[in-house]
Structure 1
């Protein structure tokens, strides 16, 4: 059986996509970005309404992170920057390279849909959840985090929200970039890219990788001194051709190969040192075409995407004990019609999507090979009035192979008060989350599937405002959210069941951005989450309080940059398992992490940079009995040609 930390609730399949993966880069251009504040939101969101929408017209809670911010923070693994997003909790089962779950507003990890360049990344063989462990940040241009139920637009996996990631595209004459860094735990990392583009084409190719001796996956304070290493190599590329002014054909691809040393999980003890490891490959691709008529007012987008994620679990003798493979293929078509008349703008969107998923596992105790298909029909109407009021209404019907057909809907409103710059916003949506193939039919030495599971049903709403202050040098945003889920699927240790009654999650998200002087930007966030299942028990791995502060300063004529990041993760609960894999609730202590990063441009082509992670050497556990790295330092060099 693979060595892993038992996932606290369940796992599932089915989703949807559309991201704007081939939206011209000029349309994505932006200034700086903050955590969802009015002062720094980029001009457009491509996720909130499945069509490019001005930030002032998005009624859902949204955070956008730019590639510039990632570079300022020197983010190497993308999940680390998500810790600073309001309403988002990140749990890593040990050091970098181990299972990394992301939860939005108290929802489960497999209730978050993850999209990279228009490709859905959720893995059918891993409970329909995307493991962020192997997603490096070196080629990321933009991240949008859309919070709240989004099933009406994106299907089953989007009950909690959507994380949409767009990588860099070519622009301008042929250019090349490279970077290398090294530091603590025997770590060596590097990346290189080439890119070019003009009004008729763009192309980009990148490679990045990391090698590390690591630290023990099992917490060393519990008597586990063995180091566990990590290897990751990723290649990515995209190409788009625009034969006419109103058409585009594009292709994207991504390949990752990884190996992570792991430790065993023993009932009654938790994680313990062992010589086990996990290795695997992931490859994704998408082909997409776009064409627009009537001066761009009627747009058609068609695409096909495929993903394959495979991993092998090996024992200390390096013998494969079990293998898992998840495959997902999707066909999609979307059309957008824009009509204007007087003070009103009408955007009508219709889409049809068909998705096939397959999960395969092979081990000494069972073999598993199951598939599921679904077809979704989507309709949305977006109304803009007087450039102040934006209303949307969306509905989706899913025809499922294994479950009852499901219909979900969503509505949003955003209103801009010109005199004060205040944006008032609200949204309400419903969601459905189907059981995963493993929950239905899976089998291990300690777990049997339950084919009688029912889909989960969710409903949620939020309301908030974005307020610029101090002559737009500052911005404050606040959101209240409330979400309820019926038939929540939970693990019992030996199988999965639908819980009777209704689970609920509610809370508050706050964000503040301030630029007290030119080139000094402070961004803070705070989230209070109250989540419990239908029995009144606190939901595990959802901290009640999350907070962050990021301070960035550019100086010496922009040749130098300094960044301070502070992340607070409040007390959380987790599950501990006895020798028979019966579980009980344990509590994880709160912790605060402080990171420092700095860079200096020696010439127009050469930068040096350095960072310190976990400056005060805090010891903490994000998952019961699993360790985390202590203080670490890294230095590196960047080249641009």
Structure 2
């Protein structure tokens, strides 16, 4: 049966929740029978249970798992995720993002992952790059080129597609898109209570950009800390990683200001330096030469780096009655990274290989800033056909600014130049979302409708300014619209969607159809510095598209079930893909393609699951995603079409005819006895792309990866130890072994431990890559090798080697 109440899982027992300590009618019904929301269990009890859940993921056999109320007393709260106590590694995860309703993996027609706060803290590394390390089939490439020396993440890849094709959200709100010369790394993972990942197209419920999947970072609420008995609570967490000498401190407090009114504030500070690649090589042992000057940083090390970030989260929650809740959220995230780009010291050649200058110093800085203000309401009206109504308004300006100072000596004149490059990239979001839930019977079959409208306006701005001072002559030159310049743009999204969950045969069969109608408009607004390419003038693009989904879950009995799902996805081109225009004659030119078509996908997925109750679960599925009009970066094009000289290296964005990706995934966990347990997840992907009748390897599909953990608990002493093995097969299939890197397979092991000293203090430690294995991640498949000396110097493959052995430690306090 589909559960229609907000609930949390404590020691294997589903407990229905309540707001403000008053039993409330949430309007959730089976047919016309309402289910009353009872009291929320105290958060203190949940936090203690969280230690037990981690130490003993599967509960005692025979424990009562029926739904039952708890004693009166609660904190204010709305629809809640399960507390981290609920999600042990042998319990199927529960998520909200996949269905926009709280559902267990076993109740979802698709593959869903949840990374809990306990998982995040246990791993020791809470950067976005490392957050998904134990999720096979999900990769986060590292940007390490000369144009991006800030070691930012390159996006989150799910089932072989990433970048802007993955919808990255914070509490359901958008984050900025990635562009060629910038990052999408704008989220701090230390301040969240869970990260939910939906694998596969999710455009019906989440709109454009959810082409390959959804990643939703969900932040904490006051009810995650407060209890019915205490009017204030807090916790503090401190961690250190020897990989990048990072120190992370998080302090969170919550208070009940008045009956029904609660406040949470949280602050995270992070300080770090460049990661240490102890297994990278130079010289004869390296994969390729490193043609850098002797004074430069060599190809086995990152440039000296200093990073500091702050993340503030504030939430004010007001529940004027038991069936009504308002939430005001404010968040501010900023990260500053200073880099001494010594890798560029020495001679610099132009595109023809002629040395034109010697770089004496290059200091660069990147500043990331993301604001978010949201006002939302959850209302459970006492009406016959409306169970829940939520709305949210959000304003979120986000920007990344890069500046620098470069001193160089010109060749052959000997003049000294001082360069100040500046890049500003901003996206400002205004979002509105209204969602309703209605549950009633139709012809005797229970139906749960989730429907709504959402829209947004996004202002995108790109500004590039280069100021050059000739210190010898005393002159100044100013250049605008360099880099990867594109026209500013306004993007309007207006969508409506509906999904129904229909139960047949007493809940043994659930059918889940859905549809979304999406309207998109991208309106270019070029400034005076934009260079219009003849024949490719920027123009407004409008598209209306309908996406469909159809899923089904069939219970086979004795814990077995099977599911099938068909889903469609839709992705508009970005402003950069449509309007990028650079004329750098005689070296190259980038011309816009205002005739780009939106990307689309039809995805098919089938799976089988086995629920062993409190002992564990198992799930396996296969998928096939068929993409049309896949957009490819930097495709060669005839320059004479745009009035450019014949023979000039001219590039644009273009649609590839088809990309076909298929694969298999599996996950599960099992509790052997009170002390020993195991969990695992597996993914294998393959794919090909076809353009103009020519078929080639799709290099972003990740071959077989298996993550397996064995854990031991000692409840009496509060100890937990896990040994996690990651096994990756080689990626030998590339299109050209001479110019494309083919990483080999590897096996690495991590040892993680936690000691709950008492109910208030926990200590944890980890040793990663215990045997100090040298290896390359599978997403380096296709990385360019054996190029020109300039390419080898500015984008060395050795910087893609994964970290050697390193350690992490941390301590948490509750008060």
Cα distance, 1:467–1:76 mapped onto 2, change above 3 Å: same
User: Partner residue of 1:301?
Assistant: 390
Any idea what SS the aligned residue of 1:594 has? strand
User: Partner residue of 1:292?
Assistant: 380
User: Partner residue of 1:526?
Assistant: 682
The Cα of 1:299 is off from its aligned counterpart by 1.6
Instruction: Point out the more displaced range, 392-401 or 22-31.
Output: 22-31
Distance 2:117 2:695 in 1: 41
Distance 1:406 1:458 in 2: 12
Contact 2:332 2:370 in 1 (8 A): yes
- Whether 1:602 and 2:757 are equivalent positions in the alignment is yes
User: TM-score scaled to structure 1, two decimals?
Assistant: 0.85
Contact 2:398 2:428 in 1 (8 A): yes
Where in structure 2 are the equivalents of 1:247-286 lying within 5 Å?
Answer: 247-261=324-338, 275-286=363-374
- Whether 1:336 and 2:455 are equivalent positions in the alignment is no
The Cα of 1:117 is off from its aligned counterpart by 1.4
Distance 1:190 1:537 in 2: 47
The Cα of 1:515 is off from its aligned counterpart by 1.3
The Cα of 1:338 is off from its aligned counterpart by 1.1
Alignment counterpart, residue 390 of structure 1, candidates 483, 496, 510: 510
Alignment counterpart, residue 41 of structure 1, candidates 79, 83, 92: 92
The Cα of 1:605 is off from its aligned counterpart by 2.6
Cα distance, 1:52–1:635 mapped onto 2, change above 3 Å: closer
Distance 1:567 1:324 in 2: 37
User: Partner residue of 1:207?
Assistant: 267
User: Partner residue of 1:16?
Assistant: none
User: Partner residue of 2:82?
Assistant: 28
Where in structure 2 are the equivalents of 1:122-521 lying within 5 Å?
Answer: 123-124=176-177, 126=179, 131=184, 133-171=185-223, 172=227, 173=230, 174-184=232-242, 185-196=244-255, 200-215=260-275, 221=282, 222=290, 223-224=298-299, 225=301, 226-261=303-338, 275-294=363-382, 297-317=386-406, 319-340=420-441, 344-364=445-465, 365-366=480-481, 368-385=487-504, 386-401=506-521, 402-418=541-557, 420-444=558-582, 447-469=590-612, 473-492=615-634, 495-521=651-677
Where in structure 2 are the equivalents of 1:539-550 lying within 5 Å?
Answer: 539-550=698-709
Aligned residues: 605
Cα distance, 1:251–1:554 mapped onto 2, change above 3 Å: farther
Cα distance, 1:563–1:128 mapped onto 2, change above 3 Å: farther
Contact 1:326 1:357 in 2 (8 A): yes
User: TM-score scaled to structure 2, two decimals?
Assistant: 0.68
The Cα of 1:509 is off from its aligned counterpart by 0.5
User: Partner residue of 1:13?
Assistant: none
Cα distance, 1:342–1:86 mapped onto 2, change above 3 Å: farther
The Cα of 1:484 is off from its aligned counterpart by 0.5
For the aligned residues, what is the CA RMSD? 3.4
Where in structure 2 are the equivalents of 1:63-142 lying within 5 Å?
Answer: 63-94=113-144, 97-121=151-175, 123-124=176-177, 126=179, 131=184, 133-142=185-194
Can you list the C-alpha shifts for 1:430-487, whole angstroms capped at 9, x where unaligned? Answer: 1111101110112456633321111012101100011135x75242211010010111
Distance 1:491 1:344 in 2: 49
Distance 1:347 1:485 in 2: 31
Contact 1:205 1:238 in 2 (8 A): yes
The Cα of 1:181 is off from its aligned counterpart by 3.0
The Cα of 1:556 is off from its aligned counterpart by 4.6
Q: Which runs of 5+ in 1 are unaligned?
A: 1-21, 578-582
Q: Which runs of 5+ in 2 are unaligned?
A: 1-75, 283-289, 291-297, 354-358, 407-418, 466-479, 522-540, 636-649, 784-796
The Cα of 1:422 is off from its aligned counterpart by 0.9
Cα distance, 1:124–1:481 mapped onto 2, change above 3 Å: same
Can you list the C-alpha shifts for 1:526-574, whole angstroms capped at 9, x where unaligned? Answer: 1110112114322234321222123333315252222333333444489
Contact 1:75 1:137 in 2 (8 A): no
Distance 2:519 2:443 in 1: 39
The Cα of 1:423 is off from its aligned counterpart by 1.7
Distance 1:72 1:553 in 2: 14
Contact 1:306 1:329 in 2 (8 A): yes
Instruction: Point out the more displaced range, 387-396 or 306-315.
Output: 306-315
The Cα of 1:289 is off from its aligned counterpart by 1.3
Cα distance, 1:186–1:26 mapped onto 2, change above 3 Å: closer
Cα distance, 1:546–1:343 mapped onto 2, change above 3 Å: farther
Cα distance, 1:552–1:276 mapped onto 2, change above 3 Å: farther
Q: Which has the higher strand share?
A: 1
Can you list the C-alpha shifts for 1:568-596, whole angstroms capped at 9, x where unaligned? Answer: 3444489999xxxxx95332344444322
Alignment counterpart, residue 727 of structure 2, candidates 568, 587, 603: 568
Contact 1:56 1:416 in 2 (8 A): no
Cα distance, 1:26–1:278 mapped onto 2, change above 3 Å: closer
Contact 1:258 1:281 in 2 (8 A): yes
Contact 2:569 2:601 in 1 (8 A): yes
Contact 1:201 1:241 in 2 (8 A): yes
Distance 1:361 1:524 in 2: 43
Distance 2:673 2:150 in 1: 36
Instruction: Point out the more displaced range, 523-532 or 54-63.
Output: 54-63
Distance 1:576 1:507 in 2: 20
Distance 2:365 2:633 in 1: 25
The Cα of 1:25 is off from its aligned counterpart by 6.0
